[in-house]
Chain A
Amino acid sequence: MVEDVVRLGKDLVAASATPIVLGILAEGESYGYAILKRINELSAGQLDWTEGLLYPLLHRLERLGFVEARWQEVSGERRRKYYSLTDPGRAELSEQRRQWDTVVDTLKEIWLGPGEPRPLTARPLEGWA
Chain B
Amino acid sequence: MTDELDGQFAQWRGYVKQRRAVSEADVDELEDHLRGSVAQLMSVGLRADEAFLVAVKRMGSLDDLSREFAREHSERLWKQLVLSGEPQAPAAKGSRRDLYAMLICAVGAAASIKAPELFGIPALVDDHDTSHRQFWGLNASLFVLPWLAAFLAWRRRAKPVVLVVLVALFGLGVVAANAYTLDDNSQSVVLTGLHLPIALWLVVGIAYVADNWRASRRWMDFIRFTGEWVIYMALIALGGGVLTGFLLATFNAIDVDPTTFVVFWLLPCGGMGAIVVAAWLVEAKQGVIENIAPVLSRLFTPLFTAVLLAFLVAFAASGNGLEIDRDMLLLFDALLLVVLGLLLYSISARDPLAPPGLFDKLQLGLVVSALVIDALVLQEIAGRIADEYGTTPNRLSALGENVILLVNLAWSAWLLLGFLRRRRPFESIERWQTGYLPVYAVWAWVVVLVFPPLFNYR
Contact = CB atoms under 8 A, between A and B. Distances in A.
Interface stretch (A72-80, A84-92, A96-104): A72-80
B7 interface: no
B31 to A, nearest CB: 7
A78 B69 contact: no
B36 to A, nearest CB: 3
Contacts of A7: none
Contact of A55 (B30, B36, B40, B67): B30
Contacts of A74: 32
Interface string B27-48: 0111111011100100000000
A31 B34 CA distance: 12
Contacts, number: 59
Interface residues of B, number: 22
A45 B364 CA distance: 55
A35 to B, nearest CB: 10
A56 B29 CA distance: 11
Contact of A32 (B33, B71, B72): B33
Interface stretch (B57-65, B195-203, B250-258): B57-65
B32 A60 contact: no
A56 B28 contact: no
Contacts of A31: 32
Contacts of A37: 36, 40
B33 A56 contact: no
Contacts of A34: 36
A51 B25 CA distance: 15
A129 B73 CA distance: 26
B15 to A, nearest CB: 15
Interface string B15-30: 0000000000110111
B331 to A, nearest CB: 54
B380 interface: no
Given A51-B60, A56-B73, A33 B65 contact: no
Interface in A24-46: 31-34, 36-37
Given A32-B29, A33-B32, A74-B32, A52 B73 contact: no
Contacts of B35: 78
A50 B73 CA distance: 17
A108 interface: no
Contacts of B60: 50-52
Given A34-B36, A55-B69, A59-B72, 5 more contacts: A31-B32, A33-B36, A37-B40, A52-B69, A81-B29
Interface of A: 31-34, 36-37, 50-53, 55-57, 59-60, 71, 74, 78-81
Interface of B: 25-26, 28-33, 35-37, 40, 59-60, 64-65, 67-69, 71-73
Q: Please list the 5 inter-chain residue pairs (A to B) with the smallest Cβ-Cβ separation, ordered nearest first.
A: A33-B36, A52-B68, A56-B72, A52-B65, A33-B33
8 contacts: A50-B59, A50-B68, A52-B69, A55-B68, A56-B71, A59-B26, A79-B28, A81-B28
